Amino acid sequence: MVLLNTAVNFKLIYRSISKRAFNWYEEGLQHHGFKYYPKNAVRTDPSMNPAKLFRVELKKPFKGAPYWEKHIMKEFKLDKVNSYTIVKNIPENNQRLWKIKYMINITPITFPNGFPHVNDVTYLQENGELNIIKKGAIHKEQLGASDKFRNDRQRLDGDTLRRHSRQKWLTGWDSP
């Protein structure tokens, strides 16, 4: 009787739990690889322009990570701590980055000076800004001035300064 009573109680508890389960099968918006549940069904999210590239930086070491996460990091060439790589913002890469998100910092790359061309010299900052460095035109006067400075006999170059400082150190500061 006790065993039968326990089975009936278990069945009642199990049934009441399954009745309270929420069915969210048809809710949410299906995106590539995940389902998005907006706060309000009526409210639409504002349109935004996603970044085309990400700067992905490894912030934790490999040690202790599962082999599949190590494999993903090796594919992105994130071999050492504080090493970074540039990754294209496509769903396949985002899905792989999601699996190792606790080990990396992702910064969207912005172009404040516009998109660079093939021959432009650029510099990527840690905050994700890709700055274009303008090329300075070299004038013949500047070249002549630098040659004149290099060949000047009265110029104190590094070797002369080292010899003079060493002589002063050995002889003392008060002697002439």
Mean pLDDT, the chain, integer: 82
For 131-144, the pLDDT digits (tens) are 998 877 778 888 88
Nearest CA among 99, 101, 91, 90 for reference residue 56: 101
CATH number at residue 96: 3.30.1390.20
Lowest mean pLDDT segment, chosen from 19-33, 67-81, 107-121, 140-154: 19-33
| Per-residue model confidence (pLDDT) at position 172 | 75
Q: Is 16 among the domain residues? A: no
Highest mean pLDDT among 99-103, 138-142, 148-152: 99-103
Mean pLDDT of the 16-29 span = 64
Q: Is 75 among the domain residues? A: yes
Q: Is 21 among the domain residues? A: no
* Contacts of 114 by beta carbon, 8 Å cutoff, 6+ apart: 132
Nearest CA among 58, 53, 111, 110 for reference residue 87: 53
DSSP per-residue string spanning 23-82 = --TT-SEEETTEEE--S-SS--PPP----SEEEEEE-S-STT--HHHHHHHHHTT--STT
| In the chain, % of residues over pLDDT 70 | 82
Q: Is 40 among the domain residues? A: no
Q: Is 5 among the domain residues? A: no
Q: Is 122 among the domain residues? A: no
**Rounded to the nearest 5 degrees, what angle is found at the Cα of 82, between the Cα atoms of 33 and 73?**
35
For 50-90, the pLDDT digits (tens) are 999 999 999 998 889 999 999 999 999 998 888 999 999 99
| Per-residue model confidence (pLDDT) at position 12 | 53
> Which helix (H) or strand (E) element contains residue 176?
none
- For 64, the domain range is 53-109
| Per-residue model confidence (pLDDT) at position 86 | 96
**Spatial contact of 99 and 56, defined as CB atoms under 8 Å apart:** no
Q: Is 135 among the domain residues? A: no
Q: Is 74 among the domain residues? A: yes
Q: Indicate the pTM of the whole model.
A: 0.56
Q: Which residue has the higher pLDDT, 87 or 43?
A: 87
Question: For residues 106 and 122, what is the distance between their CA atoms, to the nearest angstrom?
Answer: 20
Nearest CA among 97, 92, 124, 95 for reference residue 111: 124
Pairing of strands 29-31, 53-58: unpaired
Total of domains in the chain: 1
Lowest mean pLDDT segment, chosen from 16-20, 30-34, 153-157, 168-172: 16-20
Question: For residues 123 and 111, what is the distance between their CA atoms, to the nearest angstrom?
Answer: 11
